[in-house]
Amino acid sequence: MHTTILVEFILYCLAMVAIGYYFSRKEMEHSDFLIGGGKLPGWALAFSERATGESAWLLLGYTGFVFMTGFSAIWVGVGIGLGVAFSWLFLARRFMDEAKKYNVMTLPGYLAARFESKGKIILWLATILIGSFMMFYFGAQIAGAGKTLFTVFGIKPLTGILVSFAIVIALSYLGGFVGVVWTDMIQSVMMLITLVGLPIMALIKINSEGLSVMDAVVAAGPTMDSWTGGLTGFALGILLFNNFAWFFGFLGGQPQLSARFMALKDKKEARTGATVAVVWVILAYVGAFLIGLTALTLYQGQAFADVETILPFMILDLFPEWAAGILLAGILAAIISTADSQLLVITSSASEDIIRNALSIKLTEKQLVLVSRLTIVGAGIVGLMIALFSKSLVYLVVGWAWAGVGCTLSPAIILTFFWKKYSGAGVIATIISGFVSTVVWISTPLEEIISSRFTTFFIALAFGIVFSLLFPEKQTTAAEDEKEISAENAINV
């Protein structure tokens, strides 16, 4: 048992819960609980967005993926890096403006308001989509926590899962969106410290022992030193598409990320956020990639029962206990920051999109906040069951959720923002086709050939275009057009 690390873990968890409790003491309206009420700075939202977007799958899943596949794993990082940059540079301000224009707080709420004639159907379908896949995403985070605590302390994964679950529920229940953003900011910095500090220490040890990263990668397998995985032609195209396909989930379709864009105050804050996010993603993915390669070098020939425990294993091997505790807390930080945001997304879909808008149930602000908090507990319990009984790797489960939600709703956002002929029927077709194609694809051997992250995006995109052309949106009158232009001008002012 690593006593020093355990004490640091406990102090970290208590600090996060204390922050959540601090914000719970403040009187919050429903908009404050779900989206911060437009009061948060852009840099904090950017740190929060990155911590939320990069979960246990980055520190555990991606580092293990690099360890198994070598240089060709770089294309995952490239796809995600470009996706993050695109979303902040080209979509964030549009989300901010559209949220103010339509007075909405959620991604489904925006699509429903934008295509009002089909609004309630869109709300129901989007909520079912988000709830279904986000439960698995949440479960993957909690399972990742169990792996981390098992590797560090040797405690049963069940105990680690239950402890992490309790912390996430407490943070989400108490502080809402504001509390989550500020705890995310701290956690995001801790993640960077881990991802940057660990490969530096590993490279120092490699140099002192006269080892060679390139020699180790070559010795690990015949294709490990190839940036293309040793493939050519069509097979190479499939490899690049499968790894790069994470890009498509960043095009506005992840509701836990778009919520940060919608919470931005103004254009200045959006520019600040974009700078912080792009720098963060470059440092994080270069660090994670190097962790996988240096692990190959330091532990060549050593077998791991679970490659997704390489990062905590390296930390314990290379750092003294006091430093290891800080770095390992970065893994727990990644898990908590993503899990609590996923619970808030599910919560907002239930309380805002369904109860308030789809069902038009009249509740006071306090009642809506209470409903949101009760939803957090209920959704968390379902996610906990998934974490306890799922045997899939964190990397795979997150990939499926990324396809089901991000690569389904991203076409809907891109078409809404940039294609005037997109219609309510097109949105419905996009959501249904994306949901069905993801479930079908991951249930067959096709997933091993072409990733559902790629196929879902283009299937949903195609259905959205075709159904928009077949069932166009009703033409607005000149008066309605003038009203919309006036609203846009007011936002710009």
**Any idea where the domains of the chain sit in the sequence?**
3-391
Altogether, the residues listed in the chain come to a count of: 493
Which range (34-38, 71-75, 141-145, 320-324) has the least confidence?
A: 34-38
Q: Residue 288: what pLDDT?
A: 94
Q: Residue 350: what pLDDT?
A: 80
Cα–Cα distance between 351 and 359 in angstroms, integer? 10
DSSP notation for 185-247? HHHHHHHHHHHHHHHHHHHHHHHHTT--HHHHHHHH-TTTT-TTTT--HHHHHHHHHHHHGGG
Which range (100-109, 198-207, 392-401, 437-446) has the least confidence?
A: 392-401
Which range (254-268, 319-333, 390-404) has the least confidence?
A: 390-404
% of the chain residues with pLDDT over 90:
29
Q: What digits encode the pLDDT tens for the residues 443-470?
A: 888 887 888 888 899 999 999 999 999 9
Mean predicted confidence (pLDDT) in 149-167: 76
Which range (33-37, 117-121, 380-384, 406-410) has the least confidence?
A: 33-37
Beta carbons of 248 and 406 less than 8 angstroms apart: yes
pLDDT tier at 397, thresholds 50, 70, 90: low
Give the dihedral of Cα atoms 447, 452, 458, 464; nearest 10 deg: 120
DSSP notation for 111-126? HHHHTGGGHHHHHHHH
Does domain 3-391 match CATH 3.40.50.2300? Answer: no
Q: Residue 388: what pLDDT?
A: 76
Q: Residue 289: what pLDDT?
A: 95
pLDDT tier at 136, thresholds 50, 70, 90: confident
Q: Residue 479: what pLDDT?
A: 47
Cα–Cα distance between 370 and 24 in angstroms, integer? 12
Mean predicted confidence (pLDDT) in 402-420: 91
Beta carbons of 262 and 35 less than 8 angstroms apart: yes
> Is residue 48 scored above 60 in pLDDT?
yes
Cα–Cα distance between 310 and 297 in angstroms, integer? 12
Amino acid at 285: Y
pLDDT tier at 475, thresholds 50, 70, 90: low
Place of tokens 């493939």: 231
pLDDT tier at 228, thresholds 50, 70, 90: confident
If you average pLDDT over every residue of the chain, what do you get?
82
